[in-house]
């Protein structure tokens, strides 16, 4: 896989050594067991896959190169580059300004832009409408477009499905940048609707079977269907694509549910289902799959708690927390500073995004076994800082630097 030029401040010698060793041992990525860092009284099990993915490293490389090559020019980011506070703060410290917040609310008016300005498209991509607006001002977005190739893959697959006469159901969070972008691209080719979860999918299915009156659809899914969507016609032939950072199992379950509903409603067989339901399984992101599979493998290890590191508005990180908390006490933090002491940790509720403090989060036993992973937009350097903070609370049999030598 391509190697990217990412600033060293985001790298970790320890994590790089661990990942390199695992990569050599498991070239086909079949082993999802975690890596044990044995510090004696502290046992840390690192997930097999975590941290920066291809799309994130690509975006960071383009952004920092753009800054270096355009001294004196005004540089804007359409919205957050990725959902990581440290990376976004570093870009702002270099003079980059955000045009919108993560929900699409305007921070700087587009009217202030000129053809001499540079606008970087974030890894989530953007809508066709915004792209057209920027291009109309003489701003060439294609040169500074950091859209993840796997997001673009979903767009391309949507177009292919549309050309065969299917409508699109997007599984995604309606307000998320990537979902807004995918909806824009899909709906430019075919009728499109967004569902957030299985509960909404069950309700959508009732319009396929006729259990619900068509007119109810336009209220229930207001703001989430494309212009001219005819619920009586456009749900007869569908394909499901996803926001790439959703839980892969959730997208698969939604697709299977809708497939079964259509099969039963129209009396179709497995051999004839493609007449009304498109196979779109190839839109799932490899990094999302790997990180979620690695968490599943990590959770097979007996442990006292899990720590998940990443930006609080990161969708893919939130889903890792969701998986972990089903099995054991789990703490979602965005930096080592959130570990306040050996007795208390400030962590985020992935649903409400509210921070709370938990006391006595480390059990009074030895050894303490902690599972650690991070989201696809979290620098490895931050994970190492978390490990160092935890190690500082114990009379360990090895230092972090000595542990690096073990894997180096």
Residue of 80, 178, 322, 404 marked active site: 178
66 and 45 within one domain: no
Peptide bond into 266 cis (omega under 30): no
318 and 300 within one domain: yes
94 and 174 within one domain: no
Residue 276 has pLDDT above 80, yes or no: yes
121 and 72 within one domain: yes
402 and 354 within one domain: yes
Determine the Cα–Cα distance for residues 120 and 311; give it in Å rounded to an integer.
20
Instruction: Please give the pLDDT value at position 336.
Output: 98
213 and 173 within one domain: yes
Q: What is the pTM of this model?
A: 0.89
Query: Is 154 inside a domain boundary?
Result: no
81 and 19 within one domain: no
State how many domains the chain has. Answer: 3
Query: Is 1 inside a domain boundary?
Result: no
Query: What would the pLDDT profile of 196-226 be if each residue is shown by its tens digit?
Result: 999 999 999 999 999 999 999 999 999 999 9
Q: Which of these, 84, 87, 66, lies nearest to 76 by C-alpha position?
A: 66
Judge whether 61 counts as a catalytic residue: no
Query: Is 204 inside a domain boundary?
Result: yes
111 and 169 within one domain: no
276 and 260 within one domain: yes
Instruction: Please give the pLDDT value at position 140.
Output: 87
Average predicted confidence (pLDDT) for the chain: 95
Q: Give the structural domain span for 369.
A: 8-53+287-407
Query: Is 156 inside a domain boundary?
Result: no
110 and 138 within one domain: yes
* CATH number reported for the structural domain that contains residue 128 in this entry: 3.40.50.11270
Instruction: Please give the pLDDT value at position 282.
Output: 66
What is the Cα 49 distance to its own chain's centre?
Answer: 14
Query: What would the pLDDT profile of 24-49 be if each residue is shown by its tens digit?
Result: 999 988 999 999 999 999 999 999 99
Burial class (CB in 10 A: 0-12, 13-18, 19+), 312: buried
Q: Are 172 and 246 spatial neighbours (Cβ–Cβ below 8 Å)? A: yes
Output the six-digit token pair for 108. 């700087």
Query: What would the pLDDT profile of 69-121 be if each residue is shown by its tens digit?
Result: 999 999 999 998 888 999 999 999 999 999 999 888 999 999 999 999 999 99
Q: Which of these, 2, 18, 91, lies nearest to 53 by C-alpha position?
A: 2
Query: What would the pLDDT profile of 134-178 be if each residue is shown by its tens digit?
Result: 999 999 888 899 999 999 999 999 999 999 999 999 999 999 999
């Amino acid at each position: 896989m391509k190697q990217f030029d990412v600033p060293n401040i985001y790298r970790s010698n320890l994590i790089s050594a661990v990942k390199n060793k695992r990569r050599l041992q498991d070239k086909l990525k079949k082993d999802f067991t975690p890596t044990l860092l044995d510090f004696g009284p502290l046992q840390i099990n690192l997930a097999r896959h975590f941290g920066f993915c291809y799309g994130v490293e690509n975006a960071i490389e383009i952004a920092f190169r753009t800054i270096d090559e355009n001294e004196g020019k005004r540089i804007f980011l359409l919205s957050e580059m990725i959902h990581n506070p440290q990376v976004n703060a570093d870009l702002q410290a270099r003079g980059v300004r955000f045009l919108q917040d993560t929900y699409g609310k305007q921070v700087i008016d587009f009217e202030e832009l000129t053809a001499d300005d540079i606008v970087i498209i974030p890894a989530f991509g953007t809508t066709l409408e915004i792209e057209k607006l920027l291009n109309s001002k003489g701003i060439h977005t294609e040169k500074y477009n950091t859209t993840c190739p796997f997001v673009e893959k979903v767009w391309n697959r949507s177009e292919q499905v549309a050309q065969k006469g299917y409508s699109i159901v997007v599984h995604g969070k309606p307000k998320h940048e990537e979902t807004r972008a995918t909806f824009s691209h899909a709906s430019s080719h075919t009728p499109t609707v967004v569902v957030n979860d299985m509960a909404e999918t069950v309700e959508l299915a009732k319009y396929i079977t006729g259990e619900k009156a068509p007119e109810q659809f336009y209220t229930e899914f207001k703001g989430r269907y494309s212009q001219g969507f005819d619920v009586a016609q456009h749900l007869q032939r569908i394909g499901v694509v996803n926001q790439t950072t959703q839980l892969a199992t959730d997208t698969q379950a939604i697709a299977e549910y809708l497939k079964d509903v259509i099969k039963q409603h129209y009396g179709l067989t497995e051999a004839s289902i493609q007449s009304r339901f498109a196979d779109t399984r190839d839109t799932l992101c490899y990094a999302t799959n790997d990180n979620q599979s690695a968490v599943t493998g990590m959770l097979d290890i007996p442990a006292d708690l899990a720590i998940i590191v990443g930006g609080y508005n990161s969708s893919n990180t939130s889903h890792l927390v969701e998986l972990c908390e089903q099995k054991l006490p789990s703490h979602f933090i965005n930096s080592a500073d959130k570990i306040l002491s050996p007795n208390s940790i400030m962590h985020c509720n992935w649903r409400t995004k509210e921070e709370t403090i938990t006391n006595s989060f480390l059990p009074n036993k030895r050894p303490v076994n902690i599972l650690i992973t991070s989201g696809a937009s979290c620098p490895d350097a931050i994970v190492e800082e978390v490990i160092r903070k935890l190690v500082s609370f114990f009379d360990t049999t090895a230092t972090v630097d000595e542990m690096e030598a073990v894997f180096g």
